[in-house]
Amino acid sequence: MLPVFAALVAASTALLIFAGGLVTSTASGLSVPDWPNTYGWFMWAFPISKMVGGIFYEHLHRLIASTVGFLIVVLAIWLWKAEPRGWVRKLGYVALAAVVTQGVLGGITVLWYLPDAISIAHASLAQIVFCLTTTIALVTSRGWQQSYVVSRISLPESRRDITLERIAVVTTAVIYLQIVIGATMRHTGAGLAIPDFPFAFGRLIPPVWDSKIAIHFAHRVGALTVTLLILATIGHVFFHHRRRRELRNPAILLLILLTLQITLGALTVLSQKQFIINSLHVVNGALVLVTSLVLTLRAHRARFAASAAGTGSAVGFAERNPAYVPRGANA
């Protein structure tokens, strides 16, 4: 049940990011001026009939955020009680701390009238929370666990591909950086600073510059960089590991999501930031990030096995839970 619940939490985090994207895309961030209450009502007591205009997006975002926060509290407790691996339990605590911080940032940005720095931090930390919940869902999944057990016993050293590990880490890090640049672009109102696509004012390089054009152009250069890195990662997987489903599948998904992301980015500009397209661009960017993260973690799986085998991290857990029978002990 824990892997299913962890996957549900990760999916709900993606939904939350989409809802947050809608808030920014509809400029509804200040439509509810108070926080954590909503127009004086306790959040969950606010009448649905009053969720009009921008309130609909802002209040819905708050409701989903509270739900996700609650789910992560449950997840952290569940991991603490049932997870033998210490580092996975710690991931739960970090996810909990991150989502609490995220909630505080969300409140502060409303009460302080959306200062750019806080809003950008709120958007950037959302991606970290999504990465954490996705990582927990991955490492508690049956596939990861089984490979984990197998790798301790018989994983051939040849399956560790240093090149893939490195390129995947770089790709994931650059995707995150690209998302932070995108968040900066959104929250500083630079989304249409370059109004045409694929060119910039009809040229490859903008003929005029200001801070907004620079941020926007940096996001486009970032998109090109991310595209090349993802293609390199995918190419490496298909060339060297095409039989490994755990790498091939996220590589295929990454290619699909990348294509979709570029299309949504172009449509965001061409539609003059139509709010649904814009928000889909935000959440799809997050999906690109976590898919690359999953591929990266799976590429590093053998290292996790070696590390866990050497640390005896389950000892403390076993002491607290004498009835615990390690997974695979009966196999």
Partner 1 sequence: MTRLSLAACAAAALVIGCGGGNQNQQQSSVPASSGAAAPAPAATAVDPATAATVTGKVKFEGTPPTPQPIKLSSDPYCQKANPGLTTETEIVGKDGAIENVFVYVKDGLGNRTFPTPSQPVVLDQKGCHYTPHVFGIQVGQPLQIVNSDDTLHNVHGLAKANKEFNQGQPIQGMKMTHTFSTKEVMIPFKCDVHGWMNAWIGVLDHPYYAVTSADGSFSLKGLPPGTYTIEAWHEKLGTQTQTVTVGEKETKDVAFTFKA
Q: Check binding of 53 to partner 1 (CB under 8 A).
A: yes
Q: How far is CA 137 from CA 13, 45, 79, 243, 299, in A?
A: 12, 32, 11, 23, 16
Q: 11, 77, 93, 113: which one contacts partner 1 (CB under 8 A)?
A: 113
Q: Check binding of 86 to partner 1 (CB under 8 A).
A: no
Q: How far is CA 62 from CA 42, 54, 102, 107, 197, in A?
A: 12, 13, 12, 9, 34
In contact, 304 and 144? CB cutoff 8 Å: no
Residue number, 32 or 167, with CB nearest to partner 1: 32
Q: Which stretch binds partner 1 (CB under 8 A): 21-29, 82-90, 216-224, 298-306?
A: 21-29
In contact, 91 and 132? CB cutoff 8 Å: yes
> CB 36 → partner 1: shortest distance, Å?
4
Q: 73, 155, 232, 262: which one contacts partner 1 (CB under 8 A)?
A: 73
Residue 83 tokens read as: 């997870």
Q: 2, 7, 8, 27: which one contacts partner 1 (CB under 8 A)?
A: 27
Q: Check binding of 325 to partner 1 (CB under 8 A).
A: no
Q: How far is CA 276 from CA 4, 12, 178, 212, 272, in A?
A: 29, 18, 20, 23, 11
Q: How far apart are CA 67 and CA 61, in angstroms?
A: 10
Q: 2, 5, 8, 69: which one contacts partner 1 (CB under 8 A)?
A: 69
CA angle 270, 275, 277 (to 5 degrees): 60
> CB 53 → partner 1: shortest distance, Å?
4
Of 75, 67, 140, 133, whose CA–CA distance to 286 is shortest? 133
Residue number, 236 or 273, with CB nearest to partner 1: 273
Q: Check binding of 31 to partner 1 (CB under 8 A).
A: yes
Q: Check binding of 42 to partner 1 (CB under 8 A).
A: yes
> CB 40 → partner 1: shortest distance, Å?
5
Q: 2, 5, 8, 66: which one contacts partner 1 (CB under 8 A)?
A: 66
Q: Check binding of 35 to partner 1 (CB under 8 A).
A: yes
Q: 2, 3, 5, 56: which one contacts partner 1 (CB under 8 A)?
A: 56
In contact, 140 and 148? CB cutoff 8 Å: no
> CB 114 → partner 1: shortest distance, Å?
10
Residue number, 26 or 171, with CB nearest to partner 1: 26
Q: Check binding of 103 to partner 1 (CB under 8 A).
A: yes
Q: Check binding of 108 to partner 1 (CB under 8 A).
A: yes
DSSP states of 73-138: HHHHHHHHHH---HHHHHHHHHHHHHHHHHHHHHHHHHHTT--HHHHHHHHHHHHHHHHHHHHHHH
Q: 2, 7, 8, 43: which one contacts partner 1 (CB under 8 A)?
A: 43
Q: Check binding of 60 to partner 1 (CB under 8 A).
A: no
Q: Check binding of 41 to partner 1 (CB under 8 A).
A: yes
DSSP 58: H
Q: How far is CA 28 from CA 20, 23, 154, 180, in A?
A: 10, 5, 55, 21
